[in-house]
Amino acid sequence: MAAAPVEAFVEALGPEAVLTSEADLREFRDPYSFAGWDHPVPAACVLPASVEQVQAVVRIAGRHRVPLWTVSRGRNSPYGGAEPRVAGSVVVSLRRMDRVLEVDGELAYALVEPGVSFFDLHAAVRSAGHKLWISVPDLGWGSVVGNTLEHGWGFTPHGDHAASQCGMEVVLASGEVLRTGMGALPGCRAWQAHERGFGPSPDGLFMQSNFGIVTKMGVWLMPEPECYLSGWVTVPGEADLEPLIDTVRPLLLDRTIPNHPLVNGPASAGGLGVPDPGRWNLRFALYGRETVVDAQLAVVERAFSRIPGASVGGRKYAGADAGAAGPANDRVQAGVPGMDMLELMLARGGEHAGHLDFSPVCRLTGRDVTAMCGLMRALAGRHGVAYSPGLILTPRSVVHILPLVFDTTSEEDARRAHALYELLVTEMGRAGYGPYRAHVRYMDLAAGRYDFGDHAQRRFNEALKDALDPDGILSPGKQGIWPREMR
Amino acid sequence: MAAAPVEAFVEALGPEAVLTSEADLREFRDPYSFAGWDHPVPAACVLPASVEQVQAVVRIAGRHRVPLWTVSRGRNSPYGGAEPRVAGSVVVSLRRMDRVLEVDGELAYALVEPGVSFFDLHAAVRSAGHKLWISVPDLGWGSVVGNTLEHGWGFTPHGDHAASQCGMEVVLASGEVLRTGMGALPGCRAWQAHERGFGPSPDGLFMQSNFGIVTKMGVWLMPEPECYLSGWVTVPGEADLEPLIDTVRPLLLDRTIPNHPLVNGPASAGGLGVPDPGRWNLRFALYGRETVVDAQLAVVERAFSRIPGASVGGRKYAGADAGAAGPANDRVQAGVPGMDMLELMLARGGEHAGHLDFSPVCRLTGRDVTAMCGLMRALAGRHGVAYSPGLILTPRSVVHILPLVFDTTSEEDARRAHALYELLVTEMGRAGYGPYRAHVRYMDLAAGRYDFGDHAQRRFNEALKDALDPDGILSPGKQGIWPREMR
């Protein structure tokens, strides 16, 4: 990279906030890849510490036509981590912007910067003495903002993180700062309390995209319940997946079960605290006054009693005790961040295990889920990859996470996983199953499947990209959206 | 209007679908206004019957540079009805696109066209024999799509209509058709089942805006509950509003009460079926298995017992019976469309009563709500307008609907209401309270209050407008967003 932009970054942010050494930049590479592979090597990494510094970075990049690649904490390992798409990019790491700016105990929300991890947010809420629970994904080291912007999932009633976001501050490619929703109204104190403001809501545009850099985000929290039940349902037979899904769906639609249950096979279930795993295992949670939780549990038990051999169990906690007790299973549904799932993967796959995640979506009916799982299993089997999925349920859909686990010391093993990934995007897409997110190397491929109206979505995104970022400096290629000059 | 575009519309849609007579066009005027007022008179109205016809209309408008003004059913009376902002506009009425395209009984959703009213959708769900409930606003004659696009409210757990929308089809100014979310993936059957697709989600952009014409929309429904309770809480004193709000908030945050309660004064409550109204009255609803509803009701009763003089009551129904029974209060919370609120207004305000609605948002704390209501009451009182609000509650915010009722046969009375409206937008905005939507005449004024960052939101919206609709043909001025040549 030419010296001029680096100098400008150093002048704006200070020398410690501009990394250029090979060692420092190695972090911004797919963590599960090989040195010899074709990596887009970044030219530098900048570490802004404030909104003003993000504005300065964007303006310098615009002036010098340098592509940026923004990561919050960059912990997105199974999807390529912090690796950019274009060689010579300047990675904008937001990890120094790690302040929890506000926790509102009455209205149950937080306002966070993008460097705040789930561990950080959990600690901030606790240390301020609020009786509030956050929602966490399986690993707690990632960024709350980053996870949300990628449509990530947790396992409390606020587990659809994109839907539990309220109010953003965004630095645009022009260097301007936009506040969405009620944040656009000076003096308004409902920015994190009320979804939407006056006029169109752009929040969804800044997720899975490259239209702006989110510098603040509101996130809804839940009150610590009086009572918390971490429950499970096990069924014995392969074919029981269908009635399992069809029985849980009405309980999700009528909110008897208010969180996002996870369905998996025996291998994963064992490590997660289900005492006697079946062929398929569903974990769920109930939260609230104990009388209500008891009444809901009785409804759940009655519903599953229709499936021969099904078993329903659970561990009940006082809400105040849920953080300390129980296996990982119980903590994650109580919004307590951990690293257990990584340890579990290493324990099962070996200390050098890595994985790609392929994550298509389908309708939540027994018929649809069984068909999708059958297809996935067949494709994985043909390529010698174990089929051990985790299904995250919403009331009407399933996100089917299939980790393609491989030995990161075996390039052959890794290449096989990548070949399967590519095949899955293509073949599952052809069958009408699209991924909810994708590994950075397969973003073009995945986006290409969403081609209704001869790629109307791509043209729409490109029109927005050209309007909002005419110099094409923000994360070119992210999600398959390229600026004009790189198309 | 020149003959050429009218001829082109007639050629594309047929002569019956192009209205140009003064009598036919009178419908597209603020229904509560006066003949002598300055009205932007439309040049014509076109009534497309299909997506292809909407595409044809947009292309003709682009060719002839004719501004369009799109309405679904145009029943938005207190906000100006179907009146355009620019004289000579061609109103695009979507009332002929009135098909319920799909009702999915398993996954509890419908796919509708913009001409479908709440009455239509309710009838379609019933006649197909589905045990599903829809969510309805106070009046059932409006469009499901139109209401949703304006951020409208209903009173079941799906009452935040914008949040219960899933998947759109949109005709862009270019004439192209965009499908959002999973609708962009050919063969995918999860379009109405899963929020979001791959990449940025533009759905929020097409609400309260003029970036496209929505021609299909998914809407989530709820299962008919085993048991339904239409409940109320009354408190005796003026100052009890504060503890009323602070007591209900935790019950909303922990989902003991799953719907959107309404708070109002004695006048409205009487008509709505609360047998012995207090100074403030809160209606709410519970839905589910009877054991769970009973447990939840006991929690509600215990919570409000802390307020001296508070009374909790309710009427319990089998879910299957809720449509037929009870006062309007009970039907609207069960998603049964009606016209009772209009009749109530006419009964109270006289047969010529009309109203403007001013609807600011604030935080859901007793302190904040009391402060806002005090301010509104003072401003209304100073202008001799009765203060009789309805507060729609979300778990963290209030939408404060204040109908400014006036005699539509008295121009003086109407002018007073309009003067107050203008004052409220300005003064309440200055105090940090912004409206969630606005009357068509005050859209510029309202949008102007959302001026963070020296009007960053306006510039952002204008950049999108210029990119997506360079000829400025789609609803110029809607929500204060103007195309380049009219700014």
Q: What is the pLDDT of residues B59-90, one digit of tens each?
A: 999 999 999 999 999 888 889 999 999 999 99
How close B410 comes to chain A (CA, Å)? Answer: 31
Q: Which ipTM did the prediction report?
A: 0.97
What is the SS3 assignment for B480?
helix
Touching A: B residues 374-433, CB under 8 Å: 394-397, 399, 429-433
In sequence order, the 6+-apart residues with CB closer than 8 A to the CB of B379 are: B420, B423, B424, B427, B428
CA distance A49 to B444: 37
Q: Does A185 touch chain B (CB under 8 A)?
A: yes
Tens digits of residue pLDDT in B123-170: 999 999 999 999 999 999 999 999 999 999 999 999 999 999 999 999
Confidence bin at B386 (pLDDT 50/70/90):
confident
CA distance A84 to A99: 25
**Separate counts of helices (H) and strands (E) for chain B:** 14, 19
Tens digits of residue pLDDT in B428-459: 999 999 999 999 999 999 999 999 999 999 99
Tell me if B296 and A294 make a contact (CB, 8 A cut-off). no
Q: Determine which of B359, B457, B464 to mutate to test the interface with A (most A C-beta atoms within 10 Å).
A: B457
Q: Which residue in the set B188, B192, B199 is minimally distant from A480, CB to CB?
A: B199
CA distance B112 to B161: 14
Q: Which residue in the set A202, A399, A451 is minimally distant from B204, CB to CB?
A: A202
Instruction: Give the per-residue SS3 of chain A.
Output: CCHHHHHHHHHHHCHHHEECCHHHHCCCCCCCCCCCCCCCCCCEEECCCCHHHHHHHHHHHHHHCCCEEEECCCCCHHHCCCCCCCCCCEEEECCCCCCEEEEECCCCEEEECCCCEHHHHHHHHHHCCCCEECCCCCCCCCEHHHHHHCCCECCCCCCEHHHHEEEEEEECCCCCEEECHHHHCCCCCCCCCCCCCCCCCCHHHHCCCCCCEEEEEEEECEECCCEEEEEEEEECCHHHHHHHHHHHHHHHHCCCCCCCCEEECHHHHHHCCCCCCCCEEEEEEEEECHHHHHHHHHHHHHHHCCCCCCEEEEEEEEHHHCCCCCCHHHHHCCCCCCCHHHHHHHHHHCCCEEEEEECEEEECCHHHHHHHHHHHHHHHHHCCCCCCCEEEECCCEEEEEEEEEEECCCHHHHHHHHHHHHHHHHHHHHCCCCECCCCHHHHHHHHHHCCHHHHHHHHHHHHHHHHHCCCCCECCCHHHCCCHHHC
Residue A483's pLDDT is: 98
CB B419 within 8 Å of CB B384? no
* Tens of each residue's pLDDT in chain A, 487 residues: 667 899 999 999 999 999 999 999 998 999 888 888 888 999 999 999 999 999 999 999 999 999 999 999 988 888 999 999 999 999 999 999 999 999 999 999 999 999 999 999 999 999 999 999 999 999 999 999 999 999 999 999 999 999 999 999 999 999 999 999 999 999 999 999 999 999 999 999 999 999 999 999 999 999 999 999 999 999 999 999 999 999 999 999 999 999 999 999 877 765 567 888 899 999 999 999 999 999 999 999 999 999 999 999 999 999 999 877 678 889 999 999 999 888 888 887 888 888 999 999 999 999 999 999 999 999 999 988 889 999 999 999 999 999 999 999 999 999 999 999 999 999 999 999 999 999 999 999 999 999 999 999 999 999 999 999 999 999 999 999 999 999 9
Alpha helices in B18-117 (DSSP H): 22-25, 51-64
Sheet holding B177-179, edge to edge: B100-104, B109-112, B213-220, B165-171, B177-179
| Six-digit token string for B410 | 């008295």
Residue B155's pLDDT is: 96
Tens digits of residue pLDDT in B356-381: 999 999 999 999 999 999 999 999 99
Using only C-alpha atoms, chain B has a radius of gyration, in whole angstroms, of 23
CB B96 within 8 Å of CB B128? no
All residues of chain A having their beta carbon less than 8 Å from the beta carbon of residue B184 are 450-452, 456-457
**Closest chain B residue to the Cα of A249, Cα to Cα:** B107
Residue B271's pLDDT is: 56
Residue B262's pLDDT is: 95
Cβ atoms within 10 A of the Cβ of A348, count? Answer: 15
Touching B: A residues 442-481, CB under 8 Å: 446-447, 449-453, 456-457, 459-461, 463-464, 466-468, 479-481
Q: Which residue in the set A205, A250, A459 is minimally distant from B202, CB to CB?
A: A205
CA distance B463 to A130: 41
> Hey, what amino acid is at A114?
P
All residues of chain A having their beta carbon less than 8 Å from the beta carbon of residue B480 are 199
CB A208 within 8 Å of CB A101? no
Residue B329 has pLDDT above 90, yes or no: no
Output the CA torsion sign for A453, A199, B162, A204.
Answer: positive
Specify whether A437 is catalytic.
yes
Using only C-alpha atoms, chain A has a radius of gyration, in whole angstroms, of 23
CA distance B285 to B230: 5
Tell me if B363 and A460 make a contact (CB, 8 A cut-off). no
Confidence bin at B421 (pLDDT 50/70/90):
very high
Angle between helices B290-304 and A290-304 (to 10 degrees): 170
Strands A68-71, A90-93: pairing is: parallel
CB B360 within 8 Å of CB B369? no
Touching A: B residues 222-281, CB under 8 Å: 222-223, 225, 249-250, 253-256, 258
All residues of chain A having their beta carbon less than 8 Å from the beta carbon of residue B243 are none
Tell me if B189 and A459 make a contact (CB, 8 A cut-off). no
All residues of chain A having their beta carbon less than 8 Å from the beta carbon of residue B249 are 106-107
All residues of chain B having their beta carbon less than 8 Å from the beta carbon of residue A295 are 289, 291-292, 294-295
Tell me if A205 and B201 make a contact (CB, 8 A cut-off). yes
CB A335 within 8 Å of CB A220? no
Specify whether A317 is catalytic.
no
Catalytic residue among A32, A79, A421, A442: A79
How close A152 comes to chain B (CA, Å)? Answer: 12
Could you tell me which of B162, B160, B121 has the C-alpha nearest to residue B142?
B121
CB B154 within 8 Å of CB B260? yes
Q: Does B367 touch chain A (CB under 8 A)?
A: no
**Closest chain B residue to the Cα of A203, Cα to Cα:** B204
Residue B323's pLDDT is: 78
Q: Which residue in the set A197, A399, A459 is minimally distant from B450, CB to CB?
A: A197
Tell me if A432 and B189 make a contact (CB, 8 A cut-off). yes
Q: Does A157 touch chain B (CB under 8 A)?
A: yes
CA distance B211 to B467: 10
What is the SS3 assignment for B399?
strand
Cβ pairs A/B, distance under 8 A: 325
Residue B273's pLDDT is: 73
Question: What is the total residue count of chain A?
Answer: 487
Tens digits of residue pLDDT in A292-329: 999 999 999 999 999 999 999 999 999 999 877 678 88
How close B464 comes to chain A (CA, Å)? Answer: 7
Q: Partners of B14 in the beta sheet?
A: none
Tokens 């707690």 — which residue? A140
CB B136 within 8 Å of CB B337? yes
Catalytic residue among A377, A387, A437, A450: A437
Q: Which residue in the set A186, A209, A365 is minimally distant from B106, CB to CB?
A: A365
Tell me if A184 and B451 make a contact (CB, 8 A cut-off). yes
Residue A76's pLDDT is: 87
- Maximum CA extent, chain A: 71
Specify whether B437 is catalytic.
yes
Tell me if A460 and B172 make a contact (CB, 8 A cut-off). yes
Confidence bin at B3 (pLDDT 50/70/90):
confident
Q: Which residue in the set A185, A432, A479 is minimally distant from B188, CB to CB?
A: A432
**Closest chain B residue to the Cα of A226, Cα to Cα:** B254
